[in-house]
Amino acid sequence: MTGQPTAGPGGAARRPRLADVASGAGVSTGTVSLVLRGEPGPSAKTRRRVLEPPAVRLLTDGQQWIDFFAAVYDLYRRRGVAPALGRFRGEAFAESDRLAMARATDLNTNEQALANATYWFEHELRQYPAVHLDLDALSGHAGRIVLAAGRESGGHPCHDATMELGTRLGRRVTELPGGHVGFMTHAAAFATELLQTLPGPADIGRRPAG
């Protein structure tokens, strides 16, 4: 989700469209639209493919973060979901993210939180951050890749990995209000800046020219 222009007809620069995001993520433009609006439908796996690149290994301290995720998983296995989530939030995210994530995953008020967290610990926490990205293959499609990070997340892995991926691919990273979950903590400002970055509703579902 970046304002970086891409090539349009005759080489003219244009802002990326939903179709560019969809092509890069391997999903439909309708799916991207649902993900960006927070609507139900797309699976957690699909949402992450659109919103969260597995680029931790690009960081100079990437292996330390991968080891940290493994330690969080071990804590989950030994002591349960709540202590592991607490350590994960406390060490990997900005303060604004920690508070919002704690509310969203409160096992006492969210009946789905335990099932969601269990699935995440078993199938996502250690798996997707450890992926070795094929940067050569991605570079060949860099014009289709749009990147964004939370403005308050600097110094934390989700933000820094995205910035590093942008550097490697020569793509600008748009910083949006809030941290990793700025769409929750700064909803109005996030939506305003997102709308300024993305094309209008008339472009949804339209294939890019050329």
pLDDT attached to residue 152? 94
What are the residues facing 148 on neighbouring strands? Answer: 174
Q: Spell out a b/e string for 166-186, using b for 16 or more CB atoms within 10 Å of the CB, else e.
A: beebebebbbbbbbbbbbbbb
Determine if the pTM surpasses 0.75: no
Count the Cβ atoms, other than its own, within 10 Å of residue 82.
Answer: 16
pLDDT attached to residue 196? 78
Question: Is 177 a member of any domain?
Answer: yes
Residues 199, 142, single domain; the answer is: yes
Residues 152, 198, single domain; the answer is: yes
Residues 161, 189, single domain; the answer is: yes
Question: Is 25 a member of any domain?
Answer: yes
> Which of 128, 147, 172 lies at the terminal end of a domain, its last residue?
128
| Amino acid letter, residue 104 | A
User: Parallel, antiparallel, or unpaired: how do β-strands 173-176 and 147-150 relate?
Assistant: parallel
What are the residues facing 174 on neighbouring strands? Answer: 148
Question: Is 161 a member of any domain?
Answer: yes
Question: Is 71 a member of any domain?
Answer: yes
pLDDT attached to residue 107? 81
Residue position matching structure tokens 């100079």:
60
Q: Where in the sequence is the domain holding 86, given as residue range(s)?
A: 62-128
Residues 51, 66, single domain; the answer is: no
Residues 11, 69, single domain; the answer is: no
Question: Is 14 a member of any domain?
Answer: yes
> Which of 103, 128, 153 lies at the terminal end of a domain, its last residue?
128
pLDDT attached to residue 25? 56
pLDDT attached to residue 93? 93
Q: What share of the chain is helix, strand, coil (3-state, %, to 5)?
A: 60, 5, 35
pLDDT attached to residue 33? 62
CB 174 within 8 A of CB 147: yes
Question: Is 49 a member of any domain?
Answer: yes
pLDDT by position in tens, the chain (length 210): 433 444 444 444 444 455 655 655 556 666 666 565 555 666 655 554 455 556 899 999 999 999 999 999 999 999 999 999 999 999 999 998 999 889 888 888 877 888 889 999 998 899 888 888 888 988 888 887 778 899 999 999 999 999 999 999 999 898 999 999 898 889 889 888 877 776 444 443 344 443
pLDDT attached to residue 203? 44
Residues 21, 118, single domain; the answer is: no
Question: Is 66 a member of any domain?
Answer: yes
Residues 111, 141, single domain; the answer is: no
- Quote the number of domains for the chain: 2
Residues 44, 141, single domain; the answer is: yes
CB 20 within 8 A of CB 5: no
Helix (H) or strand (E) holding 169: helix 157-169
Residues 68, 42, single domain; the answer is: no
Residue position matching structure tokens 């939180």:
113
Residues 31, 16, single domain; the answer is: yes
CB 153 within 8 A of CB 159: yes
